[in-house]
Amino acid sequence: MNDVLEQVETLTREALPELVALRHDLHAHPQLGYEETYASALVQRELKAMGVAFESGLAETGVVGWITPDGEAGRRDAIGLRADMDALPIEEQTGLPYASQHPGRMHACGHDGHTTVLLGAARVLQQVRRALPRPVKLVFQPAEEGGGGADRLVKAGVLTDKVGRHHVACMFGLHGWPRLPLGQVATRVGPLLAATDNVFITLSGPGGHAAFPHVTADPVVCAAQLVTALQAVVSRMVSPTRPAVLSITTVHGGDAENVIPDRVALSGTVRTTDGDTRRTVIERADHTAKQVAAAHGCGVEFRLEMGYPVTQNDAAYTRRVMRMAEGLLGEGRAVELPEPVMGGEDFSYYGRHVPACFVFLGMRPAGKGTAADLHTPAFDFNDDAIGAGVELMCRAALDGDAHG
């Protein structure tokens, strides 16, 4: 095995210049969820050049490749390796020579880097195919940013032999993380990322002239009270030991300074890491909205939009990945997070069906206390993290005893 790992290291190092160029190409041509035709075509072109079998057009733009070793190993269930391809509706402000060529769209979450890492892993694994202990399924996924591309791929059969000839025994994925130093990875057993639900609340009542508020049911005052009252849902109705967030992020109502409107619309997000807390927060938010509206003589409509499930890391598989990462990066470089992160990920859908592990890949340059954060106009995936990502993916694929 040591000889194979040395070969993986050498092949990764040799591929890095081309991988960096690929990443810059992807960065310059961002597209939103289910529109990732450029990235999809690039992935297909690269897999074809490597001699890797693949199927395209899955969930619109998704591509799934597979590498099958000879003999008994090729008849085992596969390990799935996943990357997402979509960009965000953000105007890039990096000033980079390979900055987005599409106004109002950019790779602000590093999916260009994730796609590049998986292409690099595919290239290396295809060259060490004879050493693989099981098949590898390469999942290039559309629409992670709110589109639920993972859910659609699961429903299309990506975890079964319906797509890519092999059932999947376990799934592995990673995400570039600018808050973590280069040369480190971080994850945890159990809930890693939160469920992501959205709430939409509309308050209504007879409006009127602002000089005569006593003949109205003012939804603006009601909205102000409701935003404050909802803060008690997490602080007073959920155990302090259970992570939860309820944030109202938009308030829309009124058109003139001397008119009390008849409607005010609010929306926000709910983040939780277990089912009981998820139900409690949503139920109590609904109840609070109805009670506050009633106290102000307003009508209320409460609508819930269920989002991604909790990203849950399988215990045995995650401990194995942590040992693997420490073997690659060095002692103390695989960090166990003490608590979940309240962001969300549709990688969670894979983990509902097979053991899964998702990790954060460090990207913060040495000597820098901070780096541009995800989902900001200044963000750029750090090319220096590509090599570690490729080797980590390859080691996951070469770990024959992971599951199944």
Residues 218 and 137 grouped into a single domain: no
Residue 368: per-residue pLDDT: 72
Residue 403, in any domain of the structure? no
Same domain flag for 219 and 89 = no
Domain annotation covers residue 251: yes
Q: What is the mean pLDDT of residues 277-285?
A: 98
pLDDT score of 158: 98
Select from 279, 305, 331 the last residue of a domain. Answer: 305
230 and 362 together in one domain: no
Residue 157 lies in a domain: yes
Looking at the structure, do residues 92 and 57 belong to the same domain, yes or no?
A: yes
The DSSP secondary-structure symbol of 403 reads -
- On whether residue 21 sits in a domain, the answer given is yes
* Residue ranges of E strands in 254-399: 259-260, 263-272, 299-305, 311-313, 334-336, 356-364
Beta-carbon count within 10 A of 325 CB: 25
Does residue 299 carry a pLDDT above 80?
Answer: yes
| pLDDT tens digits, one per residue of 314-335 | 999 999 999 999 999 999 999 9
Residue-wise pLDDT for 14-51, tens only, equals 999 999 999 999 999 999 999 999 999 999 999 999 99
Domain boundary among 247, 276, 305: 305
Quote the domain boundaries for residue 383: 2-193+310-398
Q: How many CA atoms lie within 13 A of 120 on its CB side?
A: 34
pLDDT reported for residue 404: 45
Q: Give the 3-state secondary structure of residue 329.
A: helix
Whichever domain contains 258, its CATH number is 3.30.70.360
Identity of the amino acid at 370: T
What is the CATH number for 49?
A: 3.40.630.10
Q: Does residue 403 have a pLDDT over 90?
A: no
Residue 239 tokens, joined: 């155990």
Residue 357 maps to a domain: yes
- Whether residue 261 is found in the same domain as residue 371: no
Could you tell me where the beta strands, DSSP code E, fall in 213-330?
A: 244-253, 259-260, 263-272, 299-305, 311-313
For the stretch 149-193, pLDDT in tens is 999 999 999 999 999 999 999 999 999 999 999 999 999 999 999
Same domain for 177 and 232? no
What's the structural domain count of the chain? Answer: 2
Domain boundary among 305, 336, 366: 305
Task: Answer yes or no: do 39 and 138 share one domain.
Answer: yes
Query: Do 247 and 372 belong together in one domain?
Result: no
Helix (H) or strand (E) holding 176: strand 168-181
Provide the whole-model pTM. Answer: 0.95
Is residue 70 a part of any domain in this protein? yes
Q: If 0-12 CB within 10 Å is exposed, 13-18 middle and 19+ buried, where does residue 240 land? A: exposed
Statement to judge: residues 372 and 298 lie in one domain? no
Question: What percent of the chain has a predicted confidence (pLDDT) above 70?
Answer: 99
Calpha distance 21→40 (Å, rounded):
16
DSSP 49-85: HHT-EEEEEETTTEEEEEE--SGGGGGSPEEEEEEE-
With respect to residue 404, please indicate whether it lies within any of the assigned structural domains: no
Looking at every residue in the chain, the average pLDDT score rounds to: 96
User: pLDDT-derived band of residue 371, with 50, 70 and 90 as boundaries?
Assistant: confident
pLDDT of 397 > 60? The answer is yes
Which residue, among 327, 331, 334, 385, has the nearest Cα to 359 in the 3D structure? Answer: 334
Please report the pLDDT score of residue 402 as a whole number: 55
Number of Cβ within 10 Å of residue 367's Cβ equals 6
pLDDT at 367 over 80: no
Question: Are residues 267 and 377 both part of a single domain?
Answer: no
Do 41 and 133 fall within a single domain? yes
